[in-house]
Amino acid sequence: MKLQALTTGLLAATTFISGCSLAPAYEKPAVAQPVNAVLNSDAVAANGSPKNWQQQFTDPALQALIEKALAHNHDLRVAVLRVEEARGLYRIERADRLPAVQANANFNRGRNLDPVTGVSAVTESTGVNVGISAFELDFFGRVRNLSAAALANYLATEEAADSARITIVAEVANAWLAERSASQQARLAQQTLDSREATLVITEARYQRGLSSNMELQTDISLTESARAELSVRQQQRQQAQHALQLLTGGFDNLLTEDDTPLADNVIAAVAADAPSQLLERRPDIRQAEQLLRAANANIGAARAAFFPQVTLTGQYGYLSNDAADLFEHQTRQWAFTPQLHVPIFQGGRLRANLDVAHTRNHIAVAQYEHTIQQAFREVADSLVSGRSLHEQQQALQRVAAADDERANLARVRYERGISTYSEVLESERSRFASASQLLEINRQLLSNRVELYRALGGGIATHDS
């Protein structure tokens, strides 16, 4: 009964004192919402981005790569392990808010000298007890604030892991786009080289018959070798993009099949931007910064509580008997109750310095939170502006490519009929291949811009409810 009363009393005291805290009331910093015309235009739709990356990245080959990266990426694995570490640290801090109860049992047998009779004899003793050791009565919220800080740090690591997932998805998508674009550029470079070599054969034959000049021959040789060098560059870019994909997916097996077909516009869905308030709720890095701010705020409370007296309790209840048969008799009971009061008197300025450090770290967390939000708005605005500009460039380059293609065909016909010079043919061919290459590049940039907007808006991976 005494043990039950002691335990009940400790739990009641713990519940009673848990409401006291010296941490400042947490208030989310007010950050000015952007008045940028891009973010507040009609393009900023309230429906937001897709809820998962599968809706955003629709190509089956790309989806397979993303799934592999999410399962095997080394950076993401580290982020997940850090979540597990933070969860364990939080559980340790949370355990300090409750008394640690331990049970002990001992048996002792030995020959001892009786101080009265002077005769040695074999004696035995058996004991059992339960107790608590140095349990802190958290009158001023020190332990509770440390626990709150650990919880906030744990939630921050979860947000960091979510941010890492979004980054991995975006990086895989960009690497895949780079590989596909390099493959298409290599195909165009091969076509250019084939055309140059065919033209060179004709020019050499004409030169042998005296129908072409040495200048024309050397020009064709130069253009042919330039096309060969361009093909080598594009092949190198494709291989490097494949290496990037291998690193992101955590393996070195062959991930891609030969595919140089043009990239369809719908392989990556267009993303509708959210309203600014929704951006604050979605981006994991913003939620991470807020959790770190909560942790810094709680640490101020713990630093303040260190200035006040600290009360700890140690107690035990049990039985000790020389005869195991009589162990649980009334007369063999033992108990001890030892409250201790620790009052900080002189610490050489340590406590004040700890509090100053806690305040400084809180100010740092506020500044980082504000910077993270401002950076998020900038990234979204930049992506929207870039997307609009790239779309206009794409339309213009489509018209340029069509015109250059028609111009090259006309120049060839005019040259064969003796109306125009060979230099006009070469110039029109250069323009045709250059505009085709530029169009391929702008198509990649436009799709990559959708990836960046997906990342800037916080992605579409479903996260936990903080």
Confidence of residue 253 (pLDDT cuts 50, 70, 90): low
- In this structure, of 140-144, 280-284, 455-459, the range with the lowest mean pLDDT score is 280-284
The residue that leads in pLDDT, 100 or 383, is: 383
Confidence of residue 464 (pLDDT cuts 50, 70, 90): very low
* Cβ atoms of residues 153 and 292 within 8 Å: yes
Residue that is written with structure tokens 């393009």 in the block: 43
- The model's pTM: 0.78
Average pLDDT, the chain: 81
Q: Among 296, 260, 355, which residue's Cα sits nearest to residue 153?
A: 296
Q: Among 15, 13, 11, 301, which residue's Cα sits nearest to residue 148?
A: 301
| Model pLDDT for residues 340-399, shown as the tens digit of each residue | 888 888 888 888 998 999 999 999 999 999 999 989 888 888 988 999 999 999 999 999
Amino acid, res. 368: Q
Percent over 70 (pLDDT), the chain? 84
Residues 6+ apart with CB under 8 A from 447: 177, 263, 265, 267, 268
Token pair of 261 as six digits: 């077909």
Mean per-residue pLDDT for 313-323?
Answer: 80
Token pair of 76 as six digits: 């993401």
Confidence of residue 49 (pLDDT cuts 50, 70, 90): very low
CA angle (86, 89, 94) in 5-degree steps:
125
Mean per-residue pLDDT for 190-217?
Answer: 87
| Model pLDDT for residues 101-128, shown as the tens digit of each residue | 888 888 787 777 767 676 777 777 777 8
Q: Among 265, 187, 181, 176, which residue's Cα sits nearest to residue 444?
A: 181
CA 169 to chain centre: 10
Per-residue pLDDT at 275 exceeds 60: no
CA 442 to chain centre: 28
Confidence of residue 255 (pLDDT cuts 50, 70, 90): low
pLDDT of 402: 93
Percent over 90 (pLDDT), the chain? 22
Residue that is written with structure tokens 């005869």 in the block: 323
Per-residue pLDDT at 228 exceeds 80: yes
The residue that leads in pLDDT, 223 or 25, is: 223
CA 72 to chain centre: 15
Mean per-residue pLDDT for 151-157?
Answer: 90
The residue that leads in pLDDT, 145 or 323, is: 145
For residues 381, 384, 386 and 389, what is the CA-based torsion angle, rounded to 10 degrees? -130
- In this structure, of 42-46, 120-124, 182-186, 304-308, the range with the lowest mean pLDDT score is 42-46
Mean per-residue pLDDT for 44-58?
Answer: 60
pLDDT of 277: 62
pLDDT of 236: 93
The residue that leads in pLDDT, 116 or 178, is: 178
CA 421 to chain centre: 59
Q: How long a stretch of residues is the chain?
A: 466
Provide the residue ranges of all domains of the chain, joining segments of one domain with +: 2-97+138-308+344-456
Residues 6+ apart with CB under 8 A from 102: 130, 131, 132, 133
CATH 1.20.1600.10 correct for 2-97+138-308+344-456? yes
CA angle (92, 304, 14) in 5-degree steps:
50
Per-residue pLDDT at 443 exceeds 50: yes
Per-residue pLDDT at 9 exceeds 70: no
pLDDT of 353: 92
Mean per-residue pLDDT for 52-61?
Answer: 85
CB atoms within 10 A of CB 257: 6
DSSP 279-338: HHHH-HHHHHHHHHHHHHHHHHHHHHHTTS-EEEEEEEEEEEESSGGGTTSGGGEEEEEE
The two beta strands, 120-137 and 101-113, are antiparallel
Return the SS3 of 273.
strand
